[in-house]
Amino acid sequence: MKQIQEIINIFRPAKNLNFEKMGPTNPNARGIPVPASKKGFHLDKSIEKVCPTGGLKVSSSKEVIFDYGACLQCGHCVEASSGQLENSGFVHVYSVDREALKVRYIDGVPVAYEEEVSENVKQFRKITKNTGFQYREVAASGNNATEAEINASFNAVFDSEASMVRVVASPKHSDAVVFAGPVGPNMEIPLQVAWDTTPGPKALIACGTEAVSGGLFQRGKLPKEPDLFIGGDPPRPDVIVSAFRYLMGRKKFSFREELSKFISERRSKS
Ligand code: SF4
């Protein structure tokens, strides 16, 4: 009987996520704050004070700049905005261009920006698109939350290895270094050593808001400008795996295009 059950299991459809069909939002998550979809947007400058990371700047009552690479998705600004901001559920916050995560909204509409792709990322895509990549993770003074989500990215639901992304113990065997945390003074040298030991062509990946911008802390010195920035404190496992697929060129994605599309759909429904 047990053997029959095992044979049936072989033919059962896999329960892991279909990354091809995944959208940028998650109904169970707070996501990044965005201007409310109703018309007549105006925001008071005093709201800047509620943000613990300096993640939003109000240049005029009609203009706000969010740095989603510094945003913890804590929702404090939404609570203090008298209905002018909303939690969006938009969680796929990642780009190969740090500037792409800084979004200027005028009258609630994001200003267009074209993401720049560096030569290093183009080279990395060439070698990893069909074969995937291996990475060494460096826990660089964080609180282990991002590491917990990275661990979860290998479970049967998110199945990072099915996306051809594996973790290895030694940077000598890796194609990329993933770091989480704000890189405190004691972790600057270990991160540099891990990077120097990784053979090229290689990529440096900042995973989580603290790694991207420092979050609540001053971020330490990095070996180089990262090749991929993943926002979220911590980012969800599906966001991490999707960001890796995008870095490899296996997933077509532009944070700015997806966000603009999302905002325009919300506004047309309101
Ligand atoms: S960190 Fe919190 S308060 Fe600051 S922009 Fe993000 S959600 Fe708003």
Query: pLDDT for 246-267, tens place per residue?
Result: 999 999 999 999 999 999 998 8
pLDDT category of residue 269 using cuts at 50, 70 and 90: confident
pLDDT category of residue 33 using cuts at 50, 70 and 90: very high
**What domains sit in the chain, N to C, each tagged with a CATH number?**
25-91+99-114+254-269 (no CATH), 119-248 (3.40.50.12280)
In the reported structure, the alpha carbon of residue 67 is separated from the centroid of ligand 1 by a whole-number distance in angstroms of 9
Out of 50, 51, 84, 217, give the residue to mutate to test ligand 1, the one with the largest number of ligand atoms within 8 Å of its CB: 51
Q: What is the reported pLDDT for 268?
A: 86
pLDDT at 11 exceeding the cut of 90: no
pTM of the predicted model, to two decimals?
0.94
pLDDT at 200 exceeding the cut of 80: yes
Q: What is the reported pLDDT for 37?
A: 80
Q: In 226-248, which positions are buried (b, 16+ CB within 10 angstroms) versus exposed (e)?
A: bbbbbbbbbbbbbbbbbbbbbbb
Give which of 29, 33, 83, 75 is closest to 50, Cα–Cα: 75
- Residue bearing the CA closest to ligand 1, atom 3: 51
CB 182, CB 218: distance < 8 Å: yes
Q: What is the reported pLDDT for 6?
A: 86
Q: What is the reported pLDDT for 13?
A: 76
Give which of 71, 87, 96 is closest to 208, Cα–Cα: 71
Q: What is the pLDDT of residues 130-172, one digit of tens each?
A: 999 999 999 999 999 999 999 999 999 999 999 999 999 999 9
Q: Which residues line ligand 1 at a C-beta cut-off of 6 Å?
A: 33, 50-51, 53, 55-56, 66, 71-77
Out of 49, 67, 77, give the residue to mutate to test ligand 1, the one with the largest number of ligand atoms within 8 Å of its CB: 77
Q: What is the pLDDT of residues 181-196, one digit of tens each?
A: 999 999 999 999 999 9
Q: What is the pLDDT of residues 63-119, one digit of tens each?
A: 999 999 999 999 999 999 999 999 999 999 999 999 999 999 999 999 999 999 999
Peptide bond into 199 cis (omega under 30): no
pLDDT at 39 exceeding the cut of 80: no
Backbone angles phi, psi at 146, to 5 degrees: -65, -35
In the reported structure, the alpha carbon of residue 56 is separated from the centroid of ligand 1 by a whole-number distance in angstroms of 7
